[in-house]
Amino acid sequence: MCPCIISDNFSESFILQKMSFVIRVSALVCNEDKILFVQEGKENVHYGKWNMPGGHLEEGEKLIEAVKREIKEETGLIVDVQGLIGIYNNFNRKHYIQYVFKCKPIKGEIKAQRGEILNIAWMKKNDVELMPDSAFVYPYILKKMLSDHDDKKLISLDYISEF
């Protein structure tokens, strides 16, 4: 939590308000020319929309551990985290800071997490681009991530210091 001072008029007394951040991790899990997507299955939380595997960072959890855990929980796959694609700042009802990693599956059998995930699919990038925005959770962020994945080199995991 970060304390922030907010006021409409500097001559008035200041109001101290706490601003909360939600830290998320997600992954472009790539296998040759396909990307792994999960179809959200929680009632009232983007039900039926496609998304990359991921979720919230738990208290005391490291980023790399979190992304591996989320992928394993949602898909049954164990992955090798190859690098960081980017960090995305999203203000949608809450303030989300999202770390997106590129991962490669190394073992495991695909199995959707009961009660959380409806379906899992490998999709080609071209097929994803042809789907309507309404099919995805936050399509504008997804498009930026896919573009960054194509246009930028991965950020080395050596640049992530976790103590």
Which neighbouring-strand residues pair with 54?
Answer: 26
Contact between 142 and 72 (Cβ < 8 Å): no
First vs last C-alpha separation in the chain: 19
pLDDT digits (tens, 9 = 90+) for 116-160: 999 999 999 999 989 999 999 988 888 888 888 775 688 899 998
Find residue 99's DSSP bridge partners.
25, 87
Q: Of 108, 113, 122, 119, whose CA–CA distance to 31 is shortest? A: 122
Relative to beta strand 15-19, strand 77-92 is: unpaired
> Predicted confidence band at 18 (pLDDT cuts at 50, 70, 90)?
low
* Superfamily name and number for 21-158: Nucleoside Triphosphate Pyrophosphohydrolase (3.90.79.10)
In this structure, of 1-10, 18-27, 35-44, 139-148, the range with the lowest mean pLDDT score is 1-10
Residue spans per domain, the chain? 21-158
pLDDT digits (tens, 9 = 90+) for 48-107: 999 999 999 999 999 999 999 999 999 999 999 999 999 998 887 778 899 999 999 999
pLDDT of residue 2: 42
Distance CA 41, CA 19 (A): 29
pTM for this predicted structure: 0.83
- Show the tokens assigned to 132: 């309507």
| Residues 158/67, Cβ–Cβ less than 8 Å | no
